[in-house]
Structure 1
Amino acid sequence: MSQDVRKYPVDRTEEEWRAALSPQEYAVLREAGTERPYTGEYTDTKQEGVYSCRACGAELFRSGTKFESHCGWPSFYDPSDSDAVELIEDRSMGMVRTEVRCANCGSHLGHVFAGEGYPTPTDQRYCINSISLRLTPTEG
C-alpha cells in the first residue's frame, strides 16, 4: 500500500504513520495485513456505539449494522456513510476481491463480500479487522 499515490484528507508520511501506530496496527492499516481470525477485540462485541478508523478517527460503521457472520472478524452490512469507505479491486491472493479502505486516510480496513446469503438488508459483508477500528460506546 505504501506505493499508493492517491491523496487523502489525512496525508501523513510512512514515518509519521509508523510513529503513530503500533507495529501490529501499522502492518494491517498501512501494509494491508490481516489479523488472525477470532483474535480481534471486536469480533463478538455487541456493545452499541460508533466504530471509527483507528488511524485517523473517521467514523466508519455503527453498531446497528454489525452482525454475526461467524467468519472470525467483525462484520457489518453497510458503512455509516457510503463516502466513509473507499472500495478498491484487490487481485492479491490469486482471486478478485474488493478491499475496503478508510476514505479519510487510505488505511486498509478489510474486504467486502456480496451475495453470500446473509439475512441482511444489503446482502453484503464488510469483513473488517478489529485492529483497524476503535469503538466509541454510545451513552444510554
Structure 2
Amino acid sequence: MSPYLLIQLAALGLYLFLVAVNWSALPEPMAVHFDASGDPNGFMSQAWGAVGIPLMVWAMFFGLTVLGRDPGFFARMKRFSPSGWRAWAEFNTLMGLGLLTVSSMTVLYNVEAIPGEWIGYSVWIFLAFAFLAIYRLASVGR
C-alpha cells in the first residue's frame, strides 16, 4: 500500500478517535461553520457534523488517490508521469489532512477546548498548503 494511503488512513483513525473520546461532550446540534471572526454561524447534528460530512469528503480525497494509481484514470493526460502521480497523491493527501485538521478543530471548539479564532487560523493554514499543493501539481512535467 502506498505511503499516501497509509497517511490518510492514519489521520482518519486519529480523527475518529478524537470524535469517539469527545462524543458525549459534543452538543446537539454542533457548530460546523464559522465566520471570519470565529463565531459559529452554521449548525448540524452530531452525527453529520462530526462524522458524516468529514468522512464523505475525506473518502473523496482517499478515493481520488486510489484511482490515481490506475493508468486509465489519467489516460487523456499524456504527460502524467510517475512524478505526476506522486504530486497527485500528495495533493489529495494534503487536502484530506487539511479537512481532518479543520474538522478536529471544530470538534475541539464544540467541547470548549479551543476558542473559535483557532478554527479561522487552521483554515488559513489549510488554504496556504492547498495553494502550495496546487502549484506543485501544476508544475509537474515542466
Structure with more of its chain in strand, by fraction: 1
Higher relative contact order (CA 8 A, sep 6+): 2
Structure number with larger C-alpha Rg = 2
TM-score, with length taken from structure 1: 0.26
Structure with more of its chain in helix, by fraction: 2
